[in-house]
Amino acid sequence: MTMLSFSTQLATTPADGLESRVGNTPLLPLRRVTRGLPPRVQVLAKAEWFNPGGSVKDRVALHIIRTAIADGALTPGKRLLDSTSGNTGIAYATFGAALDIPVTLTIPANASPERLSVLRALGAEIILTDPLEGSDGALFVARRMAEEHPEAYFYANQYDNPANWQAHYQSTGPETFAQTDGRITHFVAGLGTSGTLIGTGRYLRLANPAVRIVAVQPETPLHGLEGLKHMATAHKPGIFDPDFPDRTVSVETEAAYAMMRRLAREEGLFVGISSGAAALAALRVAAELDEGVVVTIFPDAGYKYLSDKALWEEDAAAFSRSAVQTPVETT
């Protein structure tokens, strides 16, 4: 394939093509888990599993690919290389298959079997890394591969690539503002690469400087919130600005799991782990308000977590609603 054909494929994508389906995801109201909040407080969630690859990372992967082709960084004969905890890799593999771009991914060996199966089905080359080192270990392996074989790889580097946050500045931010008719008062998003929070938040602050930006992270360095980083102890992404959020809400792993189950059983929203954490943080923010519109991001659905039966088999009634009332945060 020539560089011209790469660019031509993107430029001539039909109106109903795969890439055209990225973004414009629904903004859904939470109704039952919000019982007890003041009547003039709304909590809304962007349902990012409506993207073709099944997660919010479709926005990032497609924009990184488009930017790299336009800049001449992704050229014929090179493989797209990046580290992933799963969702970004699936997005790369999805658009790589559609655009005939070979994809190599480093991913922790303890990633869910569902994610690994999807990646293999899409034709991605998978390099499993030490599970004890998590997403940071996968990142270091990808970085080393790129340094050792620069002729073989375009290193997408989602953690440091400005195209990551720019994807959200150009899409998630404008969508969110328009879908709330500009009424959004608080934006709540998890910290992984931090691209969703930074990009969406920058747009929202430009549109209305009064909007409060709230980051969500695990309470402790050792946690079970896949896709999220405890920024105080993790390798910090180059695109992350620690001074950008107005506040940071820290979330306990078990409380996030319990919220996942509540969302499934009380809202009909079968979402993933980071969505449970985001909902919990959004509800804690909302509980402090007399009025307002709190918007959060649900990054993916729960299908990629089905093999972890412990997530779903505990009694949802065991969740203590007091967790929604007691903020745990860092500044």
Active site residues: 57, 274
Q: How many other C-beta atoms lie within 10 A of the C-beta of residue 136?
A: 17
Please say whether the beta carbons of 279 and 287 come within 8 A: no
Q: State the Cα–Cα distance between residues 80 and 92, nearest whole angstrom.
A: 8
Please say whether the beta carbons of 33 and 27 come within 8 A: no
Name every residue whose Cβ is closer than 8 Å to that of residue 313 and which is 6 or more positions away in sequence: none
Phi and psi of 5, rounded to 5°?
-70, -35
Instruction: Look at the chain and count its residues.
Output: 331
Q: How many other C-beta atoms lie within 10 A of the C-beta of residue 293?
A: 20
**Tokens at residue 287, please?**
């509980």
Phi and psi of 189, rounded to 5°?
-150, 145
Could you tell me the CA-to-CA distances from 303 to 47, 140, 236, 272, 273 in Å, in that order? 14, 28, 29, 8, 11
**Tokens at residue 35, please?**
């019982």
Q: State the Cα–Cα distance between residues 324 and 11, nearest whole angstrom.
A: 47
Name every residue whose Cβ is closer than 8 Å to that of residue 213 and which is 6 or more positions away in sequence: 186, 187, 197, 201, 204, 205, 244, 245, 246
Could you tell me the CA-to-CA distances from 264 to 33, 100, 309 in Å, in that order? 10, 37, 14
Residue type, 221: P
Please identify which residue in the block is written with the tokens 């990808």.
142
